Amino acid sequence: MQGTEARRKPRPPFKVGDAAPEFWGYHAGGEAYDYGKSFRGKTILLIFWSLEDPDHEQLNGRLRKIRRRFLDQQDFIMVSQCVDQDYEKWIAYCKRQKPLDGNAFYSDGKWIHQTQGGFNLDELNSAKEFGMTKTPAFFLLGPQRKFLAVKIPEKQLVEQIQAVLKQQTGR
């Protein structure tokens, strides 16, 4: 899926309550993250995006604001996965970004940036596993590894996150 459109037939859409497929990737510091091991017990906003999206810079700016808004939520993290195959281009982009609270753009514990780019692993491609046909796309995944919200419109992200976290904490 180079850019914004995939070339293969999408899988049937997931529904709220369905088990989420595995996903993994590498952040620009070289560390691997794996949904099954790295993110246990977390509520995750999973973002698929591309450097070829016309407004990817603005999108990441808007996501910074969301990260700040929910920074105090201990069990909530954001995972951005770039779907592009050009690993070096993605690394260069990450290095040009402003640090998040003193940390590198790609190594903040509350917002993890990762890619599978350059690894040519079609059978383990996270975007394909999630049925991606267009970027950006947003999913909320719960601590029990199930979908809490599927293909959320960007304008509804804050509202959806608030509703899920409120339901989980009872506040």
pLDDT tier for residue 26 given thresholds of 50, 70 and 90: confident
pLDDT greater than 50 at residue 5: no
For domain 24-169, the CATH architecture is 3-Layer(aba) Sandwich (3.40)
Helix (H) or strand (E) holding 92: helix 87-96
Its pTM stands at: 0.85
Helices 157-169 and 56-69 pack at an angle, to 10 degrees, of 30
User: Which candidate, 127, 150, 144, 123, places its Cα nearest to that of 19?
Assistant: 144
Does position 4 have pLDDT exceeding 70, yes or no? no
Q: Compare 169 and 68 and report the one with higher pLDDT.
A: 68
Angle among Cα 99, 24, 8 to the nearest 5 degrees reads 110
SS3 call for 19? strand
pLDDT at 119: 60
Contact 133, 10 (CB under 8 A): yes
- pLDDT tens by residue, 72-119: 998 999 998 888 888 888 888 887 876 655 555 555 678 888 887 766
- What pLDDT score was predicted for residue 105? 58
CB 4 within 8 A of CB 134: yes
C-alpha span between 148 and 44 (Å, rounded) = 9
pLDDT digits (tens, 9 = 90+) for 93-103: 887 876 655 55
- pLDDT of 23 over the 70 cut: yes
Tell me the pLDDT of the chain averaged across its residues.
Answer: 82
Report pLDDT for 2: 44
Question: Which pLDDT does position 3 carry in this prediction?
Answer: 45
- Given a contact cutoff of 8 angstroms between Cβ atoms, the answer to whether 21 and 150 are in contact is no
The domains of the chain are located at: 24-169
